[in-house]
Structures are given as structure tokens and as C-alpha cells.
Amino acid sequence: MASAQDTRIMGKGWNTSITLIEPNRVEIVGHSIREIVERRSLPEATHLLIKKDFPDEVRLHELHEICCDAASLPLSPVPRREHQDISKTLVRCLLEDEALEEVSAEGLDGECEKTVFCLGRVIRTIDLILRSKGTRTAPLPPDPKEPFSRWLYRMCTGDPHGDEERQKMLQALVVACIDHGLTPPSTQICRLAATARVPYEVALAQGVGAISDVHGGASGRAAEFFTRYLKRQKETGMGPSDVLEGLLKETVSQGKHVPGLGHRVHTKDPRCEVLWSVAEETRVAAQCVQASKAAQSVFSRIRGVSLPINVDGVIGAIVADMGLSPIVATLVFVLGRVAGLSAHYFEEVRTFPPMRWIDFSQAVYRNTQ
């Protein structure tokens, strides 16, 4: 990413006030990703992305109610085939969602409310996907009187009995995924759609459609990897390091990419550090979290190449340690990223002329808080 000085010299720079991304550093509107993941809920993080500050308690309750109200409305009938890609299901639901289309987005408050409403609709779609997988038989009713973390956990897992620590952990996973600046393809596609002034839900659908096995969806594959790790350790009685090395060697020998290893920007992904910390604090961390911490060094010993564990890998490890279905790992990534995509859509429409040519390498972060 070009520096502010370089872009002034070239005269081509353009500003974004959402997220600062530098090697091993992520700041959202001037707040470190650690602070946000450890202390804030998804509605609070959404408010920060769009309005550049955190809501007070009254406003936070209003946003929670909007999200619950959105999740309580039935979805437009969208047939879903067995084994259909998660992103495809979400794209179809977003494009066919008349309730979302009708929500106004006037001013920053309206933008924030529409985003939170969209999050509620995505949560309802997550419920649909999980029911299609046989994890539950009926929609779970949202309850705005519940703490948001409890409601989120219940809707995303189908488990009404998760304790506060598991609820906090799941919320931290979602919040860790809210935005990664202008580096991901999903964000760039969403902003390109925004510059053509397509409707909000169309731009969001295009961004979500770019989430795949190599972007965001890798967290689900990482959860599958660590679930296999647990199963093999139980079946063979081998030591953790031997099991991990064996699985990594198998993956490499098959010519496959190890899910959750490597990053285009970071050599030490700051989102991993905070998620490990929350996992320890909530006593969720177990064998898979420990394996995720060792994966980089074991892989380096096997291949002679050092690839850092990334946020997808840590999400997958934590989901496996929590005993949740691997699909939950992908769903929490998508849910969190919808908040960031919304912020980028509204910033583009609010700030820049339509049909502009976007050179993403010329973006300059400027904190306007």
C-alpha cells in the first residue's frame, strides 16, 4: 500500500477511513483489532465501522432489537440444493430479500441500521443453512431480551445451553472477521459494484459471492483439518506433534494447500494472537489451539518454508476445540465480513463519484475519528 507522501506526489491517492492494514497490524477506525475483539459485540463493531464511534447503551439496545426483528422475518423462498455452496445460498437469499430491500439507509444512522438489519437477515439464513444440514428442525426464535452474545451463539449453533464463555468465544470469532481493509477480493468487488451504484443488497451479494475455499471459506476447511487431527490422535494414541506432522505431510504429498497457513500481508496475523488469548481466557482452548500454535514451525520443518498461521486457521482450530460443525467456521467469517462490506459500500457511495476507476494500491487510510 502506498504511503500518504507517495500518493500526494503522484496525485492519485484516495482516502478511506475504515481500516488500516499494515504488516502485522490491523486498526479499525483507530482502534486495534485486539481491543475490538476482546471488548465489543458485533453491533458495537458495526456502529464503529460506519459511524466511527461506539454506541451508547440505549443505541446499542436499539441496534440489537433491529437485528432480532430482521431475524424474525421469514426469508423469501429460495430453494437450496443439498451440498450447495454456502456463499451461493447467501447470495441468492440476499438478492431475493424484499424485506432488506425495503429498509432505508438515509444518513449514517440509516446506514448503520440497514447494516444491522442485514446482519439479522444473514443470521436467519445461517439458521436455514444449519437446518438444511440436519442440525435442527425448526427456526430458532430471536429474543431481543437476551444478551447479544447468547442470542448469536444460539442462532449460529442451535445450542440453547452454551455457557457465557462459549458465547463470548463465538462472538469474538465473528468480530475478528469484520474487516481487513481493501486487501480482500470480496471488499474490492463490493466497492467496484458500489461505484456503479447498484443497490446495497446487490453489491453485498457480489462481495459475499467472492468468499470461497481460498478466501474466508478456508476457515471451514481448517476446522475439518483439525477435526481430523483430533480423531487421529484419539484413534492412534500418538503424540500431538507426531499426529500434526503426519497430517501436514499427507496434505503436502497430495499437492494440497494446508488450510489456514500463509498470508499475503502478515507474517504474524494480529487476529490470531487475540483469538488465542480469548480462547485461553474462556477455557475453550484445547488440543487444536495448541496444534494451531505449532503448525508454522512443524510445516517449516517439513517443507523448509515458513508460512504463518492465519485467522482462518485459528478460527478452524477453535471451532474444532468447541466441538462445533466445521460449517460454523465459514458462517462466522461471512457474518462478520458482511459488516465490513457494508461499511465499504456506504463509504464508496457517500464519498466518491459514480463510475470512478479504482486503483486499490493507491488507497490511503486516514482516521477521521
Triad 154, 271, 20: Cα angle to 5°: 115
Higher pLDDT, 310 or 141: 310
- pLDDT over 80 at 80, yes or no: no
Distances (CA, A) of 298 to 63, 181, 236, 248, 256: 44, 30, 19, 8, 16
Least confident of 4-8, 137-141, 162-166: 4-8
Cell of 162: 452454551
pLDDT attached to residue 202? 97
Cβ atoms of 116 and 63 within 8 Å: the answer is: yes
pLDDT band at 136 (very low <50, low <70, confident <90, very high): low
Cα 328 to Cα 346: distance, rounded to the nearest angstrom: 28
Cα 6 to Cα 264: distance, rounded to the nearest angstrom: 22
How much of the chain is in helix, strand and coil states, percent to nearest 5? 60, 5, 30
Per-residue pLDDT tens over the stretch 171-228: 999 999 999 999 999 999 999 999 999 999 999 999 999 998 878 788 999 999 999 9
- pLDDT over 70 at 79, yes or no: no
Size of the chain, expressed as the number of residues it contains? 369
**Phi then psi dihedrals of residue 268, to 5 deg:** -145, 90
pLDDT band at 129 (very low <50, low <70, confident <90, very high): confident
Cα 139 to Cα 265: distance, rounded to the nearest angstrom: 40
Complete domains list, the chain, with CATH: 4-216+328-365 (1.10.580.10), 218-321 (1.10.230.10)
Distances (CA, A) of 127 to 47, 89, 134, 144: 24, 12, 11, 17
- pLDDT over 60 at 5, yes or no: no
Cβ atoms of 176 and 54 within 8 Å: the answer is: no
pLDDT band at 258 (very low <50, low <70, confident <90, very high): confident
Distances (CA, A) of 258 to 9, 192, 220, 224: 41, 31, 12, 11
Which amino acid belongs to residue 244? L
Per-residue pLDDT tens over the stretch 228-248: 999 998 898 888 999 999 999
pLDDT attached to residue 353? 96
Least confident of 39-48, 75-84, 148-157, 269-278: 75-84
Cell of 289: 489451539
Cell of 342: 457494508
**Phi then psi dihedrals of residue 85, to 5 deg:** -55, 135
Cell of 232: 487421529
Least confident of 125-134, 233-242, 306-315: 125-134
Q: Give percent above pLDDT 90 in the chain.
A: 70
Cell of 233: 490422535
pLDDT band at 9 (very low <50, low <70, confident <90, very high): very low
Cβ atoms of 225 and 250 within 8 Å: the answer is: no
Which neighbouring-strand residues pair with 31? 28
pLDDT attached to residue 138? 65
